[in-house]
Every structure is written in C-alpha cells, then in structure tokens.
Amino acid sequence: MKWNGWGYSDSKFLFNKKGQAEFTGKRYRLSGMVLPSLQDWFENTFGASVNHKSPPTLNASAVPPASLNEAFVEDLKTTGVPFSHEAEDRVFRAHGHCLHEIFALREGKKFERVPDMVVWPNCHNDVVKVVELACKHNVCLIPYGGGTSVTSALECPPEETRCIVSLDTSQMLNESGYCTGHEPDSMEFSSLGGWVATRASGMKKNVYGNIEDLVIHIKVVTPRGVIEKSCQGPRMSTGPDIHHFILGSEGTLGVVTEVTMKIRPIPEYQKYGSVVFPNFEAGVACLREVAKQRCAPASIRLMDNEQFQFGHALKPQVSSIFTNFVEGLKKFYITKFKGFDPHQLVVATLLFEGDRERVLQHEKQVYDIAATFGGLAAGEDNGQRGYILTFVIAYLRDLGMDYYVVAESFETSVPWDRVLDLCRNVKERINRECKERGVQFQPLTSCRVTQTYDAGACIYFYFAFNYRGLADPVHTYEQVEHAAREEILANGGSLSHHHGVGKLRKEWMKESISSLGVGMLQSVKDYVDPDNIFGNRNLL
C-alpha cells in the first residue's frame, strides 16, 4: 500500500516520457494502458503543466515519539495479541484519505498526534482482552478498519494526553465465496466493520440494499461489555433496534467484531449498458421515473457533462482502425444527426444482474423509459468502462497533486424535487468561493446522481483546482468545501449520504438531528463508555 496516497504502490497514473498518460501495474482493467487524451484534458482544464512537478517527500522525523503506557504494554504481552510501536506502523494508521491528511504526508509536515502503538487482534476474544486492558489502564482506543475514511475519523485528537492505541481489525477478515452485493468504491481496502460503523452504501444498493438492509446481527465489544441480540431472527419488535446505536457510531462506542450478513448466489448473468441524454435535466427526470417505477438496475449513475468530458479523457488508446471508425460514427450520429450539444449532453451508466431472461426484460424496460426522455442507447462498453473506472478514480488525485492540482469529492442525499437546484447552486457556490479566495484558474466542478430511492437520490460532487501561487492550498480547499456543505444544507441536502460525519462535519450535527438528538447520542456514549476509552471524538 502507498504511504502517501490511495491504493497499491504499484498502481498509479503517470505521464511518461512520450508525453502520454498511462496507468501502471497489473491489478485493474486499465492497467498497462495508454490514455492519449488525458494530458491535453488535464492541462487545458486546470491550466497546469506536466513540466511543473511537486514530488512528495517523506519526513521520518515528523513522527512524534511514542508515549507508551508501560503497564498496559506489559499486560498486553501476556495475551499474545501482536502489537507494534514502530513509527511506520503508527503513521500508516494515523490518517484516512481526506485531502489535508494526504497533503500533509506528501509535504512531510510534522504530525501533531499519532497513535502510540498498534495492536492486531485476530478474533473477538482478542478484542475483548484489549478493551478490558484499556479500561484497566485508562488507554484510548481508536478502531482502524481499512483506513479509507474521508471524514477525519481516524485522526488522533491533539488534546488527548493518554496513550493512544490503534486497534487494527484487518487480521479478522474472512472470505466467504458468496456475494453480498455490497460494493462501495473503496471495496478493495475498506472493512466490514467499517461499513457498519459508518452506515455505508454501495454501488449496487438498488438491488441488494445499503449496509443496514444487509445486516442480520452485530457483535460489538464496548467498555461495558459485549452488545448483541439474543437471536438472529429476520425481525424483532423489542423496542428500538439496538443495531442502530452501532450503525453509524464511527468507533465511538466500541469495536465491531462479528457481523452476520445476508448473502446471495453470484448472479447468473451480468450486463452493462449506457444511455446518453441531451442534457442533465432530461437525465435526472429519467432516473426519477426509473425510481418511481421501482425498476432501477443494480447500478444506475448519471454523470453531468463535466464528468462525461473527464470520462472521455480517460478512454484508453485503441489499436483497431475499425474501432476508431465505429466510435467516430457514434459521435457523428449523436451530435450531428440527433443534434445533441457535446457541451450539454450527459451519460448514465447501467449494470443489470440476475438470471438472463429477467435481465433482458429489465433492460428493455429501462431503455424504454429512457427513450421517453430523449435518451439514446450508448452501448455496453461505455457502461462497463464507467463502472470499472470507479475503482481507479481515486488514484487520479495523487496524479493531480504531483502537478499542483488538488481534488476532492463529497456527497449528500436530497429529495427528487431539489436535485437540479442543489446541483446548480453548489457548483455556482464553489466557483464563486474559489474566485474570491484567489484561485487563478477556473476550478473544475462536476456531479453525478448515483444511488436512487423512491423519495430522492445520492449526489456526488467533485471539484479540483490548480493551486500554484496559493500560500495554503489545503486551507483554501477547506474553506470552499465548508461553504459547499453550507450550500448543500441550505438547499435541502443531508449532511452525508454514506461517508459519515467523523470530526470533519460534526459542527453541523445539531442542525441535522436537533439538540435533543445530539443529547440522546451523548447519553448513549456516556453510559456505554463513561471513561471515553473510545476517544476518537467523532460525531459529538
């Protein structure tokens, strides 16, 4: 894994000596391919230059020395649970993947606070032992799953004076060989316990559900003991569901050690597809109708024009003259014969799963709906490429940072009747805030409508800008992102659809769930963890 960016160390975007972009490694479908349009898009969009590079540096002296609780360490040795207080192990678990966290790593900036040690429990009983010892010796525990948090949830509170232990549950994962259908963008690296703790959502939730729909039973180790239900029945009427105290608790109450989930056979048949619409309004109207008729495929995602242009820049080089000819014909048909404006059109990517006959019926139903909103079928290849790009898109932020471009994404959920206003107003707010803060080149702002519901949808925003000339680009970004979140809330959007709250967004919790709601959460925290052993200070 990379120490200063996303994913595997052998997988990354780069500009080669021929001035072409390529994606290295062998792990992804895009690996080893040349992307001939990416450099021009990158330079033209951001005013950046591949001749101006900002390489990352590693500053080992930036890691503060470990402050160990020796009595805790001595007792821990008797349990046989592996642990480490090496600087590299501690730094790797001191952060998630917020922009400011990765930027600090790349710039070699001094860490204010990192875990003092890391422990690796192998099973539920190991976790019980570690938690009991933490309570005995007043040690602060911060659960660590896959490290993919984008809410500052893994950062150590700088005011914490106790020994901080990162409780890494990565050695507790098991493979079942079945399909759960839960596929978040971070699926390769995130953990099951993390999905539960953050109320996660995946790309195929339309068929399989969100994490709360998939969970049957949870076992959690807390300072007061183990929380679990008495049975694993499909439904119980025994007061408020205690699972909902755990779902979204973000490591503030304890450690999720065991989860029973619904599983299904791997689908017999899978088919990708895509639809091009003349404009964003038509695409949103189509997705709303698909949701209304409850016929959404496993995945349906609508990219605005900016994301469409970006996706086009990521098309790999093709060796076949015939393929180039066919692509040219498609473009001519859509833009010239049908009259779609290349600067207005949008694309929805589709993924159908199930038995073959039902998939084909389902596919026809969705395409028939799309046609009523002016949509044209745009082929399986575009749909498959759009879906697969999801797993490599995070690697692009690292490429941008190499050339003075910062980028980030954030999400929300919103009622259908507010989708268009929210998308337009948030984009305008981002552009206005960037200009007021001295960003010299027009930022890229884009959005996509993703998971759909009867009452609304999840919207993902992306924005990036060239930070050359800015004294503190991270602070500029954080000001803009803060303003964008205010705009989202003002336009009827939620604080988060699936990323969670962490420390990054907790200032808005009272506005989101009321003061009384925050008080209820605080009461649970005070009862379950009176000494704040799980002291990451997320949510509250």
- Annotated binding residues for FAD, written as ranges, equal 143-149, 198-201, 250-256
Q: Can you tell me the distance from the alpha carbon of 248 to that of 262, in angstroms, rounded to the nearest whole number?
A: 19
Question: Residue 215 gets which letter from DSSP?
Answer: E
Q: Assess contact for 296 and 206: CB atoms under 8 A.
A: yes
Give the start-end residues of each E strand in 78-139: 83-84, 117-119
Where do runs of H (alpha helix) occur along 33-123? 38-46, 70-77, 87-92, 99-107
Q: How far apart are CA 205 and CA 451, in angstroms?
A: 7
Longest Cα pair distance anywhere in the chain, in angstroms? 77
Beta bridge pairs of residue 445: 463
Helix pair 356-372, 280-292: axis angle to 10 deg: 130
d(CA 396, CA 400): 6
Please identify which of the residues 460, 462, 467, 477 carries the catalytic annotation: 460
User: Position 60: which residue type?
Assistant: A
> Which residue ranges are tagged as binding site for substrate?
397
291, 419 Cβ separation under 8 angstroms: no
Neighbouring C-beta atoms of residue 519, cutoff 10 Å: 12
**Residue among 147, 261, 176 at smallest CA distance from 210:** 261
Taking CA 362 as the corner, what is the angle to CA 340 and CA 366, rounded to the nearest 5 degrees? 25
| Residues whose CB is less than 8 angstroms from the CB of residue 289 and which lie 6 or more positions away in sequence, other chains included | 369, 372, 373
Query: Which residue blocks in 314-394 are alpha helix, DSSP H?
Result: 321-332, 356-372, 380-389
Q: Is 379 within 8 Å of 440 (Cβ atoms)? A: no
Spatial separation of the C-alpha atoms in residues 69 and 86, rounded to whole Å: 15
**DSSP symbol at 10:** T
| Element at 352 (helix H, strand E) | strand 346-354
Q: What does DSSP say about strands 255-261 and 21-23: parallel, antiparallel, or unpaired? A: unpaired
- Identify the CA nearest to 13 among candidates 447, 486, 441, 407: 407
Instruction: Give 354's strand partners.
Output: 269
Note whether 152 and 504 are within 8 A (CB): yes
Indicate the SS3 state at residue 33.
coil
Residue 400 CA to residue 394 CA, distance in Å, equals 11
DSSP state of 188: T
Active site residue 367: no
Catalytic residues: 460
